[in-house]
């Protein structure tokens, strides 16, 4: 065994039993880990139409065959289960140190079924697999729970992956966190884990995975730091974090503003990565951000994570990290808020209580637009003047959501679609959701292929499932970018605002590569199809050096297709159809405000044609269902039995 540890933990919480499985080498090569591997177990072990919050739902946490190796961008974990938000597949990833530590403890993944009679946590070490009482953790914020677990286990170096108190209150977009700041945010995986009465998974290990060719891995690892300063996108990410894109998004008219009504925010400078770096990072006062304000994942040279520490009106504790671009978007420009301190405070509250910052911030901005347009009033908000730009109102509503302390907070804790259904009165006109998932901070009005991917993605609107349009534009696409895309079969620069067949091919092929990354569990900021530290052929080199298999880019694309087809099959089995591959009505209305995307709207006919072409490329039926021959070509004929 090289790369992987060869052991998967199976936990039956109803029976209190833990079993270890030793899958074959062929299994690891076929799925690589992460999402594809999780989907394999979910399709085999979860009965059709299971209640997402019932004991029959199967929750999987999977690392990959490179997780824990000494190279950048490999410490990731994927969480999958049936989503309580969409009743389709749930999928979410997180980085940090937990994924590598799980591998060091000797395991590649965990499959969790059933429901414990009492609250428990799972302890995983090299010599112990144990369910322990979590009675003392109830109601604790994530940082507090982590401290208590460290004291109880008697080891400050444990890694803890947990849901938080928001899940105990039933917030549907509850997440799972490690380090109290690395958030597997999307699709409600925290609520699924809470429904199983499992508060946390605690890992500690010493057994490093073996590497087939350490010399080749070392050579590849050395190339990353050399390339870092030479690659403008990566250098910006390293210095300013994901917030580095706030200003470019504003300039392109793709910074969602006032609940996706506009694409440019007049106060974008206040929310920028530069402002965050200069004035908010932990080391800002000492002028020493690099030492104190940037954080990383296991063995990663990029260090894209931010750490904010603030005193004054909006206090922020550094242990809860700092806001990513998406969080700055949803709690900032979506809500018309320019105060980065208030946004950082919102980020802390989301991490303390463990909720998805995208879903939560976007749900509040949706409520703000409903309030501004008279769909709801202060009788509904409980007296809160929920105007765009009102930071205190945003934080008040956030508190009511995560503590479920008012009827308004409890309803918004069910997400914007359920709130719109409860209010009626035209509230659905203001939704930004696909399959229940609020749209992230990248606007498909200008990034046309994202409109397609938001629509067809099995777990709803997602910005990390394919490459974004504008980078393939002539004059912007670099030689390196095009060379790497060439490795995927994409040769030409393309018109950014088109959505013709070539654009659909660009979306589909890059989606397959991203899909593979979420199975190999590689960070998309380091390993990607084009702009990242390493490209497709580098990724094949990594997998080959790690495992000893002769991995090709073609094989990697096949793994990506396997994952995508498994997710699609799951949704089909659960009753989702082509009707669910649709964008919110709001996206077909012209954007307001100033900037390059003012008056731009999406075209429904264009999206429908793109979906047809996408199904054709994926070799699915006209209704978007994988054909038996497509599944057979991917070695997935076994799925006929599900």
Cα dihedral angle (42, 47, 53, 59), rounded to 10 degrees? -20
Instruction: Name the residue nearer to ligand SF4 (CB basis): 95 or 336.
Output: 95
- What minimum distance in Å lies between the beta carbon of 615 and ligand SF4? 32
- The two beta strands, 109-113 and 59-62, are antiparallel
User: How far apart are the C-alpha atoms of 425 and 440, rounded to whole Å?
Assistant: 25
Query: In the complex, what is the shortest distance from the CB of residue 611 to ligand SF4, in angstroms, rounded to a whole number?
Result: 31
Nearer to ligand SF4 among residue 427 and residue 523 (C-beta): 523
CB of 72 to ligand SF4, least distance (A): 6
Does position 296 bind ligand SF4 by CB under 6 A? yes
Q: Which stretch binds ligand SF4 (CB under 6 A): 283-291, 301-309, 573-581, 618-626?
A: 301-309
Q: Shortest approach of ligand SF4 to residue 301 CB, angstroms? A: 8
Closest CA to 160 of 148, 171, 168: 148
CA gap 453, 463 in Å, rounded? 8
- Kindly identify the residues of this chain, within the stretch 80-119, that bind ligand SF4 according to CB under 6 A: 95
User: Which of residues 65 and 523 has its CB atom nearest to ligand SF4 in the complex?
Assistant: 523
Q: What is the nearest approach in angstroms of ligand SF4 to the Cβ of residue 161?
A: 15
Q: Nearer to ligand SF4 by C-beta: 304 or 360?
A: 304
- Judging by beta carbons within 10 Å of its beta carbon (0-12, 13-18, 19+), is residue 495 exposed, middle or buried? middle
Question: Of 73 and 88, which CB lies nearer to ligand SF4 in the complex structure?
Answer: 73
> Which residues have C-beta within 8 Å of that of residue 437, sequence separation ≥ 6?
85, 86, 186, 187, 359, 459, 460, 461, 462
Of 304, 375, 437, 543, which one interacts with ligand SF4 (CB under 6 A)? 304
If the CB atoms of residues 73 and 626 are measured against ligand SF4, the closer one turns out to be 73
Q: Which is nearer to ligand SF4, 67 or 80 (CB)?
A: 67
Is there binding between residue 64 and ligand SF4 (CB under 6 A)?
no
* From 123-131, 294-302, 346-354, 604-612, span contacting ligand SF4 (CB under 6 A): 294-302
Using the rule CB under 6 A, is 59 a contact of ligand SF4?
no
Q: Min. distance of Cβ 548 from ligand SF4 in angstroms?
A: 24
Among the residue ranges 170-178, 188-196, 300-308, 427-435, the one whose residues contact ligand SF4 (CB under 6 A): 300-308
CB-based burial, 210-234: b 16+ in 10 Å, e otherwise: ebbbeeebeebbeebeebbeebebb
How far is residue 525's CA from residue 302's CA, in Å, rounded to a whole number?
Answer: 9
Backbone angles phi, psi at 436, to 5 degrees: 85, -10
- Tell me if residue 79 falls in helix, strand or coil: strand
Size, binding site for ligand SF4 by CB under 6 A: 13
316: left (phi over 0), alpha (psi -120 to 50) or beta: beta
Helix or strand or coil: residue 122?
strand
| Minimum distance from residue 46 beta carbon to ligand SF4 (Å) | 30
Closer Cβ to ligand SF4, 75 or 391, answer by number: 75
Rounded CA separation 273/244 (Å): 5
Residue 123 backbone phi and psi in degrees, to 5: -100, 125
Q: Which one, of 470, 430, 532, lies nearest residue 253 by Cα?
A: 470
Tell me: does residue 73 bind ligand SF4 (CB under 6 A): yes
| Residue number, 224 or 624, with CB nearest to ligand SF4 | 224
- Least distance from C-beta 523 to ligand SF4, angstroms? 3
By C-beta, is 169 or 305 nearer to ligand SF4? 305
306 vs 568, beta carbon nearer ligand SF4: 306
Site string for ligand SF4, 255-284 (x = CB under 6 A): ------------------------------
Question: CB of residue 64 vs ligand SF4: minimum separation in angstroms?
Answer: 13
Q: Based on CB atoms, which residue is closest to ligand SF4, 68 or 119?
A: 68
Binding range to ligand SF4, per CB under 6 A, among 212-220, 277-285, 292-300, 389-397:
292-300
Report the residue from 32, 43, 184, 302 that binds ligand SF4 according to the rule CB under 6 A: 302
CB of 94 to ligand SF4, least distance (A): 9
Which residues, 503 to 542, sit near ligand SF4 by CB under 6 A?
523, 525-526
Task: Identify which of residues 255 and 533 has a Cβ nearer to ligand SF4 in the complex.
Answer: 533
One residue of 82, 303, 448, 484 binding ligand SF4 per CB under 6 A: 303
> What is the smallest separation between the CB atom of 325 and ligand SF4, expressed in angstroms?
12
Q: In sequence order, what are the beta bridge partners of 10? A: 19, 111
Question: What is each CA distance from 266 to 246, 250, 345, 523, in whole angstroms?
Answer: 12, 9, 22, 32
- Minimum distance of ligand SF4 from residue 110's CB (angstroms): 21
Q: Encoding tokens for residue 43? A: 């399709």
Specify the long-range contacts of residues 126-132, CB closer than 8 Å, at least 24 apart: 126/205, 126/206, 126/207, 129/9, 129/18, 129/20, 130/18, 131/11, 131/13, 131/16, 131/18
Distance CA 16, CA 113 (A): 10
Measured CA to CA, the distance from residue 33 to residue 23 in angstroms comes to: 11
In the complex with ligand SF4, which residue's Cβ is closer, 245 or 304? 304
Q: Do 31 and 63 meet the contact criterion of CB atoms below 8 Å apart?
A: no
Q: Are 110 and 61 in contact (CB under 8 A)?
A: yes
Q: Is there binding between residue 293 and ligand SF4 (CB under 6 A)?
A: no
Q: How far is the CB of 529 from ligand SF4 (least distance, A)?
A: 16
40-62 residues labelled b (16+ CB within 10 A) or e (exposed): bbbbeebeeebebbebbbbbbbb
Which residue has 């790369």 as its token pair? 3
CB of 6 to ligand SF4, least distance (A): 24
Q: d(Cα 321, Cα 544) in Å, to the nearest integer?
A: 35
Q: Which residues bind ligand SF4 (CB under 6 A)?
A: 72-73, 95, 296-297, 300, 302-305, 523, 525-526
């Amino acid at each position: 065994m090289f790369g992987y540890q060869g052991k998967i933990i199976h936990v039956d919480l109803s029976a209190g039993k833990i079993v270890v499985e030793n899958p074959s080498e062929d299994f690891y090569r076929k799925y690589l880990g992460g999402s594809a591997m999780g989907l394999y177990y979910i399709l085999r072990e979860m009965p059709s139409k299971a209640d997402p919050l019932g004991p029959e739902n199967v929750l999987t946490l999977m690392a990959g065959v490179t997780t824990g190796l000494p190279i950048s961008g490999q410490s990731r974990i994927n969480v999958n289960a049936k989503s309580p938000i969409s009743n389709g597949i749930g999928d979410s990833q997180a980085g940090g140190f937990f994924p590598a530590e799980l591998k060091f403890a000797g395991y590649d993944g965990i499959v969790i079924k059933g429901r414990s009679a009492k609250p428990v946590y799972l302890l995983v070490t090299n010599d112990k697999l144990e369910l322990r009482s979590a009675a003392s953790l109830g109601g604790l914020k994530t940082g507090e729970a982590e401290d208590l677990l460290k004291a109880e286990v008697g080891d400050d170096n444990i890694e803890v992956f947990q849901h938080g108190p928001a899940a105990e209150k039933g917030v549907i977009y509850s997440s799972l966190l490690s380090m109290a700041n690395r958030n597997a945010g999307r699709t409600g995986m925290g609520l699924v884990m809470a429904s199983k009465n499992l508060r946390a998974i605690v890992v500690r290990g010493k057994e490093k995975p073996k590497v087939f060719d350490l010399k080749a891995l070392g050579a590849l690892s050395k190339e990353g730091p050399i390339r870092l300063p030479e690659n403008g996108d990566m250098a910006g990410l390293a210095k300013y974090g994901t917030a580095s894109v706030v200003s470019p998004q504003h300039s392109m008219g793709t910074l969602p503003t006032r609940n996706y009504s506009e694409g440019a925010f007049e106060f974008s400078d206040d929310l920028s990565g530069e402002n965050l770096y200069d004035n908010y990072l932990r080391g800002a006062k000492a002028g020493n951000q690099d030492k104190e304000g940037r954080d990383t994942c296991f063995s990663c040279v990029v260090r894209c994570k931010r750490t904010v520490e603030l005193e004054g009106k909006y206090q922020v504790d550094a242990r809860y990290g700092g806001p990513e671009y998406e969080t700055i978007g949803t709690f900032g420009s979506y809500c018309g808020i320019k105060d980065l301190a208030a946004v950082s405070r919102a980020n802390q509250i989301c991490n303390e209580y463990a909720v998805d910052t995208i879903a939560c911030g976007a749900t509040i901005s949706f409520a703000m637009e409903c309030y501004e347009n008279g769909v709801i009033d202060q009788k509904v908000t409980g007296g809160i003047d929920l105007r765009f730009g009102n930071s205190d109102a945003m934080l008040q509503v956030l508190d009511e959501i995560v503590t479920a302390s008012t009827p308004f907070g409890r309803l918004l804790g069910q997400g914007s679609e359920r709130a719109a259904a409860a209010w009626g009165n035209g509230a659905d006109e203001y939704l930004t959701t696909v399959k229940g998932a609020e749209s992230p901070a990248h606007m498909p009005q200008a990034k046309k292929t994202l409109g397609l991917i938001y629509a067809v993605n099995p777990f709803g609107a997602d910005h990390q499932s394919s490459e974004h349009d504008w980078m393939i534009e002539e004059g912007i696409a670099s030689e390196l970018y095009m060379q790497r895309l060439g490795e995927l079969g994409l040769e030409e620069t393309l018109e950014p605002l088109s959505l013709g067949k070539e654009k659909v091919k660009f979306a589909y092929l890059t989606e397959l590569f991203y899909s593979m990354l979420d199975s190999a569990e590689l960070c998309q900021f380091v390993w990607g199809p084009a702009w990242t530290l390493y490209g497709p052929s580098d990724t094949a080199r990594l997998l080959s050096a790690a495992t000893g298999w002769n991995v090709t880019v073609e094989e990697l694309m096949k793994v990506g297709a396997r994952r995508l087809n498994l997710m699609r099959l799951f949704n089909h089995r659960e009753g989702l159809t082509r009707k669910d591959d649709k964008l919110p009505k709001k996206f077909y209305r012209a954007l307001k405000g100033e900037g390059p995307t003012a008056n731009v709207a999406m075209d429904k006919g264009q999206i429908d044609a793109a979906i047809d072409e996408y199904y054709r490329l994926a070799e699915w039926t006209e209704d978007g269902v994988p054909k038996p021959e497509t599944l057979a070509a991917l070695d997935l004929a076994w799925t006929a039995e599900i």
